[in-house]
Amino acid sequence: MTALFDLSGKTAVVTGGTRGIGLMVARGLLQAGCRVVISSRKADACEQARAELSAHGDVVAIPADLSREQECVRLAEEVGVSQLHILVNNAGATWGAPLEEFPASAWDKVLDLNLKSPFYLTRAFLPALTAAGTLDDPARVINIGSIDGLHVPALPTYSYSTSKAALHHLTKVLAKELGPRHVTVNAVAPGPFESKMMAATLDAFGDAIAAAAPLGRIGRPDDMAGVAVFLASRAGSYITGAVIPVDGGIATTI
């Protein structure tokens, strides 16, 4: 059973891996034996996260502004591996404003990073992913969506929830296309976790959100690490095109 979840000898790239959910995923993959490359826009954040994560395994940090296609291509070139076993598309942004005031720039910024970037990155890393994948042990693409792409959010984050719903569908489209090339594509839809993106919401409504969840709490780092390791390991090798809520039951029961 231990071997079923073992990632020793594999390499992963985790975008947005310097904080929040990306940091949780990167730590889990490292602890399962994976070599991990993390990326984020800020060089100092990359170095700080690399130093923190190095206690758990072999980790490299490469700064990149993944809102631009050329930076997605550059990241793939700088990672420079002939085989990539796991790509975690986690980098993302949000924006909240009333309907009457919601700016065009909020659509461009959020969709560029949340939706277009996973597509560009998957394409840029596709040669390395297909080189790593086999019939019995495919390469993995894990897109980090959101429960806001599964239900209507309470806050006016129009571009964010739309981008995540679109990412969930893109996951299914790519799963169908890449399955025959021995690459699985799945999405994780997190609910409330402690992160910079969620900090203001949890400060204001955290107790109420936890109380409303069937499981009665906010997500913890091990919850996110666990689903990522499951999807990345042999345990998840026969799953593709799935969108898995990790939210204590919020999106599926409320």
CA 57, CA 35: separation in Å to the nearest integer?
7
Pairing of strands 86-89, 139-144: parallel
Residue among 120, 158, 160, 238 flagged as catalytic: 160
Find out whether 93 and 20 touch, Cβ atoms under 8 Å: no
The answer to whether residue 120 is catalytic is no
Cα 190-79-131 angle, rounded to 5 deg: 85
Distance of CA 206 to CAs 8, 158, 203, Å? 37, 21, 6
Cα–Cα distance, 216 to 236 (Å, whole number) = 27
Question: Helices H, strands E: what count in the chain?
Answer: 9, 7
Residues classed as catalytic: 160
